[in-house]
Amino acid sequence: MTVTGTILSGVPQNAGRLIAALAVCLAVALQCFAEDWTRFRGPNGSGQSQADGIPVTWTAKDYNWRVKLPGIGYSSPIISGERLYVTSAINEDATRIIRCLNTADGSLVWEKAAASSKHHVHNFNCFASSSPVVDSRHVYMAWATPERYLVAALDRHTGAEVWRQDLGPFVAEHGFGASPIVWNDLLIVPNEQDGPCSIVALDCRTGQVRWKTDRRTARTAYATPVIYQGEGPPQLILASMAHGVYSLDPSTGKPNWELPVFQWRVVGSPMIASGLVIASCGEGGGGKRTVAIRPGEPSKGIPPKLDYEFQGSLPYVPVPVAYGDLLFLWSDSGVVTCADAPTGNIHWRERVGGKFFGSPVRVKDKLYCMSREGLMYVLAASAEYKLLAKIDLEEPSNAT
């Protein structure tokens, strides 16, 4: 019994203490799920679920359970089996907290705190923006100060610390926020900052560095990697201002290719749609460029190619989501674009309203996206625009 895609995480920005609502919409939905959500944006960062029983609309009376969390957190909850993991931080001293909850009733299984030091972050950031990732043994979390970038593995059942790795200083005017991923027996950690940059792969069992690939320095990137599987070996896909969209061999860290397509900061993560890598960059309150890259195939000597790009009302923080050959871009300012993923041709573009840092999640033929004001928008995932519901969650959110 697992929970995916219906966790509601509220983040009051003006509160000294976070009252985060983790709410499962209906008990029957809780019992119907059959998949895990082990990393930021679920399986390979796709933001997609085939869960049954997810309602189109609901009220507070439909919640199966609701718990308060200490501090503030903009990270996303992850789920594996009957356990949900979520992070938050105490704003006064930047202490990071990870909690393991029982998905059936929200009861606390264990809690672990990691001491830190308060430092400057952007007004829209906090000290718990990086999402954890879980595998069959451990749950992994990352956090950073200007002095240290720390990654820790905890026993997923007890919360006991198994190992900790210090990756050195983390220099970023806006603070920390990228999330690690697990690939096979490696924990892959993005470290693209204002100081010395690298992508690092740690051994999941021991925390030892298995490979490290140095990167050029530009503005800090907050994107979480994805895996692209084409006709050849798997590729680790990343995006940054310094390198644009690029590929590494996830086994060795060896660079495969890069396409320098970005002149602005990368915050939203890349995703895969119809065999293309979709990625964005931007600044201020909106996206400046969203591109569709056809990945190169190093084994065949095929270089990457810019297939097309979008203009106007682009996402900066939210990550796009796909449904078959339909691609949905949800902008920070509440404009949603539906396009044909293989060609980039636009089916429709509509303003739903609101402001967004959270990314849309597709559950079967519906899109769910939570605004910063605390409204859950539900759209039909179709080539025709249809707003199905707008639900007041009664507290704001910066999370997915």
Residue 8 lies in a domain: no
Residue 321 lies in a domain: yes
Residue 398 lies in a domain: no
Tell me the helix, strand and coil percentages in the chain, rounded to 5.
Answer: 5, 40, 55
Strand partners, 323: 326
pLDDT band of 15, cuts 50, 70, 90:
very low
| Residue showing tokens 């390198």 | 243
Mean pLDDT calculated for residue range 79-86: 96
Diameter of the chain by CA atoms?
58
CB count within 10 Å of CB 231 equals 8
Sign of CA dihedral 335, 271, 51, 80: negative
Residue 2, CB-side half-sphere exposure with 13 Å CA sphere: 17
Is the pLDDT at 205 greater than 90? The verdict is yes
Please report, for the domain that includes residue 140, its CATH number.
2.130.10.10
State CA 318 to chain mean position distance: 9
Query: What's the pLDDT at 31?
Result: 36
Tokens found for residue 308: 């097309």
Query: What's the pLDDT at 30?
Result: 36
Residue 5 lies in a domain: no
Is the pLDDT at 75 greater than 60? The verdict is yes
Residue 310 burial class via C-beta count within 10 angstroms: exposed 0-12, middle 13-18, buried 19 and up = buried
Query: What's the pLDDT at 53?
Result: 86
Number of domains comprising the chain: 1
CB count within 10 Å of CB 32 equals 13
Quickly list DSSP for 278-301.
EEEEEETTEEEEEEEEE--BGGGT
Q: How far apart are CA 184 and CA 202, in angstroms?
A: 11
Query: What's the pLDDT at 123?
Result: 80
Residue 4 lies in a domain: no
Tokens found for residue 142: 């990352």
The closest of 372, 373, 363, 285 to 328, measured between CA atoms, is 363
Structural domain harbouring 114: 27-392
Query: What's the pLDDT at 25?
Result: 39
The closest of 355, 365, 312 to 337, measured between CA atoms, is 312
Query: What's the pLDDT at 216?
Result: 96
pLDDT in tens, 104-113: 999 999 999 9
Is the pLDDT at 286 greater than 70? The verdict is yes
pLDDT band of 97, cuts 50, 70, 90:
very high
Query: What's the pLDDT at 388?
Result: 98
Whole-prediction pTM value?
Answer: 0.91
Average pLDDT, the chain: 90
The angle at the Cα of 131, spanning 195 to 103, to the nearest 5 degrees, equals 170
Residue 160 burial class via C-beta count within 10 angstroms: exposed 0-12, middle 13-18, buried 19 and up = exposed
Q: Which helix (H) or strand (E) holds 125?
A: none
pLDDT in tens, 221-239: 999 999 999 999 999 999 9
pLDDT in tens, 338-390: 999 999 999 999 999 999 999 999 999 999 999 999 999 999 999 999 999 99
Residue 115 burial class via C-beta count within 10 angstroms: exposed 0-12, middle 13-18, buried 19 and up = exposed
Is the pLDDT at 259 greater than 50? The verdict is yes
pLDDT in tens, 49-68: 998 889 999 998 888 999 99
Residues 6+ apart with CB under 8 A from 265: 219, 220, 221, 241, 281, 282, 283
